[in-house]
């Protein structure tokens, strides 16, 4: 029932149809309350905690997945290449408990969340999860005092943590119908301030650029190979899978983006879209008739920890990387280094 409601709303949010129009008065109230909350923080009535190192927020105003995790990984790698020592904090969607905890190689996805586990394995920097971002940041700095910049994965609307740089990420859907929840897909108005706008899409036409505002930077997600789930050392180019019966499964915010990437590599795939953060305990592959099953890295971190799935020889993971103009990282580094010491 919840999945059906989500699908109905997702479709309604892309246009100003009857359902969206009926919900529009509620969206005005939502927008008013969101604006009031921001105003209370700016006026100092609600207090935001400032940490002793620069904080960079990677977030979105479009509800659901737009590609924040690949962008976070790319940014951590770029900051490290620039001589900085980044750490990442995250809510840890689906994780158990509220207290801050560090993500380590032996962490379980159900304890810390799938995205933080992926970031920890790919970004090469410390990761701490916690419901309260400021507390997670303090804990990370206690454990790793050499860290000199924090990236918060999501948390754009978590104003209790002061930030120095805000990156707002969109995908090809832009701002949908342009309305806030529940009549549209936006958590905040498209006009909200930010330092940088990034669009995860194959191209940015004038209409998309106008919808997201600012001077957007383009991000592309690219993957050209597959790794066997049970042995990451075994790798083949995606082109080697042409002609095979391939099922593509994705438990991410926008599965269609993963399927389109695979088709762009010349594969004919059957699609299995799954709910975002799907836990795979039901083994959706048991009755599948396919030579190869391709999954995302986010899904793979959970599948590898499940005995009833991790030895399935048909399962392969498609690593993807964010491709963005390195000039964006240079500007973010400049802003971080120009931030006054707390």
Given a cut of 70, whether residue 62 has pLDDT beyond it is yes
Chain center to CA of 132: 18
- The mean of the pLDDT values for the chain is 92
Residue ranges for the known binding site are: 62-69
pLDDT at position 342 is: 44
pLDDT at position 15 is: 92
309-328 mean pLDDT: 95
157-186 mean pLDDT: 95
Pairing of strands 315-318, 225-228: antiparallel
- CA dist., res. 189 & res. 192, Å (int): 6
Q: Is the pTM of this model over 0.85?
A: yes
Residue-wise pLDDT tens digits, 133-155: 999 999 999 999 999 999 999 88
Given a cut of 80, whether residue 4 has pLDDT beyond it is no
Neighbours of 131 (CB within 10 A): 14
116-129 mean pLDDT: 95
Banded model confidence at residue 96, pLDDT cuts 50, 70, 90: low
pLDDT at position 64 is: 81
Q: What is the DSSP string of 153-210?
A: ES-TT-TTB--SEEEEEEETTTTTTSPBTTTSSBSS-TT---SEEEEESS---HHHHH
88-115 mean pLDDT: 87
Residue ranges for the known binding site for ATP are: 62-69
Q: Which residues is 269 bridged to in the sheet?
A: 246
Residue-wise pLDDT tens digits, 233-268: 899 999 999 999 999 999 998 899 999 999 999 999
Q: Which residues is 322 bridged to in the sheet?
A: 221
Banded model confidence at residue 2, pLDDT cuts 50, 70, 90: low
């Amino acid at each position: 029932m919840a999945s059906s409601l989500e699908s109905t709303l997702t479709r309604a949010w892309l246009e100003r149809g009857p359902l969206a129009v009926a919900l529009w008065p509620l969206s005005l109230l939502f927008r008013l309350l969101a604006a009031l909350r921001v105003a209370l923080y700016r006026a100092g009535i609600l207090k935001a905690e400032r940490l002793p190192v620069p904080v960079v927020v990677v977030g979105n105003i479009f509800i659901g997945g737009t590609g924040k995790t690949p962008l976070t990984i790319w940014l951590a790698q770029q900051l490290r290449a620039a001589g900085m020592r980044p750490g990442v904090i995250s809510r840890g969607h689906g994780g158990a408990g509220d207290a801050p905890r560090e993500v380590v190689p032996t962490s379980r996805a159900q304890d810390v969340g799938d995205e933080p586990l992926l970031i920890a394995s790919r970004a090469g920097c410390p990761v701490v999860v916690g419901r309260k971002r400021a507390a997670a940041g303090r804990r990370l700095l206690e454990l790793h005092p050499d860290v000199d910049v924090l990236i918060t994965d999501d948390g754009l609307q978590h104003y209790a943590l002061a930030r120095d740089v805000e990156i707002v990420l969109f995908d090809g859907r832009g701002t949908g119908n342009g309305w806030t929840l529940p009549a549209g897909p936006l958590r905040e108005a498209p006009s909200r301030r930010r330092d940088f706008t990034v669009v995860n899409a194959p191209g940015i036409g004038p209409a998309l650029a106008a919808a997201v505002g600012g001077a957007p930077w383009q991000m592309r997600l690219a993957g050209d190979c597959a790794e066997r789930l049970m042995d990451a050392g075994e790798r083949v180019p995606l082109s080697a899978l042409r002609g095979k019966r391939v099922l593509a499964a994705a438990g991410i915010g926008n599965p269609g983006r993963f399927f389109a990437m695979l088709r762009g590599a010349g594969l004919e795939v059957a699609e299995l879209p799954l709910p975002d953060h799907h836990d795979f305990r039901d083994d959706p592959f048991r009755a599948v008739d396919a030579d190869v099953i391709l999954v995302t890295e986010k899904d793979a971190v959970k599948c590898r920890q499940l005995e009833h799935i991790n030895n399935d020889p048909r399962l392969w993971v498609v690593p993807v990387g964010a491709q963005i103009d390195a000039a964006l990282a240079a500007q973010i580094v400049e802003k971080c280094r120009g931030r006054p010491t707390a």
